[in-house]
Amino acid sequence: MGNLDLVTIIIIAANVIISYKGFGDYGFFDQYKFNVGGIQRGEKIRLFSSGFLHADTQHLLFNMLTLYFFAGTVINYVGIVSFLLIYIGSLFFGNLLSLYFHKNEYQYSAVGASGAVTGVLYSAILLQPGMSLIMFFIPIPIPAYIFGIGYLLYSIYGMKKRIGNIGHDAHFGGAIGGYVITLILSPWLFQTNLLMIGLLALPIVLLFVLKKAGKM
């Protein structure tokens, strides 16, 4: 982890430059953030541009650190082009799930690379499920797949209870994007990691079961 490839540097630089432009220019920020009303008026660029804006420096730093730690793992397994497909695809999946859940809330807005970054994280877990993570608040190694499943279960809870000013649905949608696109690009995983594919699918299935049952 922590392999800083050129493509990762370019993505981080784009996030930093565009986010800082947004910090100092509210008109720019307002024009390109995710906003349900704006998207439904035809401003589809927001589905992409909002993934390069952030609420503040802390938000930006957390997302870029997470990307830094996991991008190298994904690139090493699938290459740069497939990594970009996973990153951009996860960004769109995250925003599309947000749009699906908030389609009747015309004022709903959000920003951040969290969907794309969560997609990269979930992709890395699929590709290397045996790796361990050490979180700031839990100083012992946690198997990556346990973290991934737990994170999505927490996201479901956060979506249901609307916890904090956090786009839990974008995180979840990004994870779905990372999961689906990685499996399409790396079908060999079905031969080597079938059990892990099934385990990581459980929170995704649970979300749509709850939605269909009207509990989300």
Distance CA 48, CA 178 (A): 16
Q: Are 173 and 95 in contact (CB under 8 A)?
A: yes
Residue 130: exposure state from Cβ atoms within 10 A (0-12, 13-18, ≥19):
exposed
**Structural domains of the chain ordered from first start:** 6-212 (1.20.1540.10)
pLDDT at 159: 72
pLDDT tens sequence for the chain (216 residues): 444 689 999 999 999 999 999 999 999 999 999 999 999 999 999 999 999 999 899 889 989 988 998 999 999 999 999 999 999 999 999 999 999 989 999 999 999 998 999 999 999 999 998 888 776 556 778 888 888 888 888 878 877 776 555 677 888 899 999 999 999 999 999 999 898 899 989 988 888 888 777 776
> Which amino acid is residue 20, in one-letter code?
Y
Determine the Cα–Cα distance for residues 84 and 98; give it in Å rounded to an integer.
Answer: 21
pLDDT for res 8: 95
Structure tokens at 124: 């890395």
With beta carbons less than 8 A apart as the criterion, state whether 169 and 97 touch. Answer: yes
pLDDT at residue number 148? 83
Q: Enumerate residues 6+ apart whose C-beta is below 8 A from 144.
A: 124, 125, 128, 129, 130, 131, 132, 133
The reported pTM is 0.90
pLDDT at 1: 45
Collapsing DSSP to helix, strand or coil, 53 comes out as: coil
Amino acid in the structure at residue 125? I
- Contact between residue 128 and residue 77 where contact means Cβ atoms under 8 Å apart: yes
Q: Measured between alpha carbons, how far is 144 from 204 in angstroms, rounded to an integer?
A: 17
CB 2 within 8 A of CB 72: yes
- Give, as one character, the DSSP assignment of residue 35: E
Contact 148, 121 (CB under 8 A): yes
Which DSSP category does 107 fall into? T
